[in-house]
Amino acid sequence: MLSKERHQTATGPYSWNEVVGYFEEVAETVLSSVANAAEGQRQDDDVELLFDEKKYALKARLGGPEFVDERMSWVITACYLLSNFMQDYPPLLASLSGQIVKAQPAFFQHRDQLHYCPFGWPLRSQTEFRRLFELADQQAFGASDLWDRFAFIDARTGEFCVKNGSEEFLANYVCETEDEARKLVAAAKRLEGFVVCWEDVPDEKEIRNFLSYLEADDSFISALDHSYGPAVEPKHEQLQTKRSPVGRPPKKPEARAAYWQCFPQGHETAGKVWKEVHQEVEMVLGTPIAISTLKRAVRDNR
């Protein structure tokens, strides 16, 4: 896990490469578990990794003809988790001189808006991801290209930078006007050379709840529970009503209504990140709700 114990042997913020490496490992572990289950291997057996002979079992689960399926599925899963992680746990920007800056959440988004996408299985059949597989089949797009589509981050180094298409991305997906997009790009240029980092990371229980984004079906829930333990009920002392069990959140219409009650103009306008949104919506509902369910409820209404 992204363990806080790491600070006993290392100092300073958590780097981009540490967090990326963690989510790559999560994606490989979970997809490998799903592949093993598809081939009939028991969950308590040693899990063979994705790029071993189990690639054929994963291939069968995906329903695709090429090795590209499992590699693309691995990278999509890792990028998807990282995109959501940066929305819920926004990183900071640090300079070589030690300056720390809290930047606009839009600077950490993926150009394919992965944090709004559902994670369905198989990935190739998902409307949001189908075109990526088609381009990969034509050798016009590779797994590494998906990492390069973070709008302002060099995925190899974690360095913050303005890329070709960054302003277009802001104008099309984030800003209401082109002038607003130009101002954000001007601000971004002043931060070029800074690196993405996190001062702290969630504990293991919170990380497991976060991984509920991957609960596409029973095979994924089983794989997550086997590798990381079951999700646990979040605790908010200010909630006085009896909390329902994990996995039984309010229906999406209730979550959607609570969201718009809290944020009539959207949470981005209010300057809130999803973690804060989640807490406020739970306060209104008086009962816990999976953040992935909340996101789907809001996305389906936009």
Sign of CA dihedral 100, 105, 107, 111: positive
Which of the pair, 209 or 102, is modelled with greater confidence? 102
Give the model's confidence band at 62: pLDDT under 50 very low, under 70 low, under 90 confident, else very high. low
Q: What does the pLDDT look like over 31-55, one tens digit per residue? A: 888 777 655 555 455 545 444 444 5
The model's pTM is: 0.73
Query: What local confidence, expressed as pLDDT, does residue 68 receive?
Result: 56
Q: State the Cα–Cα distance between residues 284 and 231, nearest whole angstrom.
A: 22
Q: Find the DSSP H helices in the chain.
A: 16-38, 55-62, 68-88, 127-137, 143-147, 166-169, 178-189, 204-210, 218-228, 252-262, 274-285, 291-300
Q: What letters, b where the CB count within 10 A reaches 16 and e where it falls short, cover 287-300?
A: ebbbbbbbbbbbee
**Dist. CA 162–CA 144, nearest whole Å:** 19
Average pLDDT of the chain to the nearest whole number: 79
State yes or no: pLDDT of 130 exceeds 70.
yes
Residue 115 and residue 109 in contact, taking contact as beta carbons nearer than 8 Å: yes
Q: What is the pLDDT of residue 12?
A: 60
pLDDT for 154 = 96
**Mean pLDDT value of segment 136-149:** 89
Q: What is the pLDDT of residues 151-209, one digit of tens each?
A: 999 999 999 999 999 999 999 888 878 999 999 999 999 999 999 999 988 888 888 88
Q: Which of 105-119, 153-167, 234-248, 286-300 has the lowest mean pLDDT?
A: 234-248
pLDDT of residue 8: 37
